[in-house]
Amino acid sequence: MSDGTAADLFFDAAINLLRRVREEEAEAITAAGTLLADTVATGGRLFAFGAGHSSLAAQDVVYRAGGLALMNLLAVPGVVGVDVTPATLGSALERVDGLASAVLDTSPLRSGDALVIISLSGRNALPVEMALNARALGVRVIGVTSVAYASQTTSRHSSGTFLKDHCDIVLDSKIAVGDAELTLDSVPAPFAPASTVVTSALMQAVMATAAAVLAERGIEPPLLRSGNVDGGHEWNGRVLREYGDRIFYRR
C-alpha cells in the first residue's frame, strides 16, 4: 500500500470503482432501468435476488424510502444472509443443483415479470440456474456481477456457464476476483471488500433510472416515502393499496 491511511485508501479504491461503473456501465444502467419501467408500465412485477452478502444490495431496494414499492425480495431460506448457523451453510446451498427450480416453482414469478439477480462471482449453481429457469418462464433477467470471474475462475454449474451468460442485461461491478481492495505487508491477506458499496450503488442507479423513465412517460412512479416524515405513512398507504396485487412483502 502507498501513502495514506487504510481508510483513505479504501475510500479511494471505492470511489475509483464507482467512477468506472458510472462511465463504463452507463448504457447498461439505462437499459436495466428502462426494462424495469417497461415491466411496471405493462403490469408486471419486480423481484430481486442475491445470496450471502450479495443479498444486501437486493434487500436495499425492497420496501425502501425513496425506492420503488413494487420491488420484491425473492428470498431463498438459508442463503439470504449470514443469519443461518453455521454461516457456511449459506455458501454450501449456493452450490446445490436444483435448488433454484424448487424456489421458482413455489414463487409468485410469472411471465412478464422482471428479476434482478445479484451474484459477485456468478459462478455458483444457484444464480446460474435462477437466471436460466426464470428466462424459461418468460421472466426478463438483469444480472449484476463481476464479469472478471468468468475469465479467471471456473463455473460451478454443470453447464460450465456463468450468470452473465443467461441475462437479458448484465451490469458489471468491476470488482476484482477475491473482492479485496487493499494489501499491506503486515496483513497476511488482501482485505477491504468493496462489492457491497459498488453493487448497492448500481442498484440504486437502476432504480433512479426506472423512476425517471416512468415519469417521462407520464406515469407516476410507485415510490415509497420515509415513515419518519410527516405524511409518509399516508402516502405509503395509498401506494401500497394501489399496487397491492404486485407487492408480496406484505403477505
Q: Is the distance from CB of 128 to CB of 102 less than 8 angstroms?
A: no
For 4-60, the pLDDT digits (tens) are 899 999 999 999 999 999 999 999 999 999 999 999 999 999 999 999 899 999 999
Q: How many angstroms separate the CA atoms of 164 and 167, rounded?
A: 6
Edge to edge, the sheet with strand 140-145 lists 71-73, 46-50, 114-118, 140-145, 169-172
pTM listed for this prediction: 0.95
Kindly report the average pLDDT of the chain as a whole number: 94
Residue 163's pLDDT is what?
97
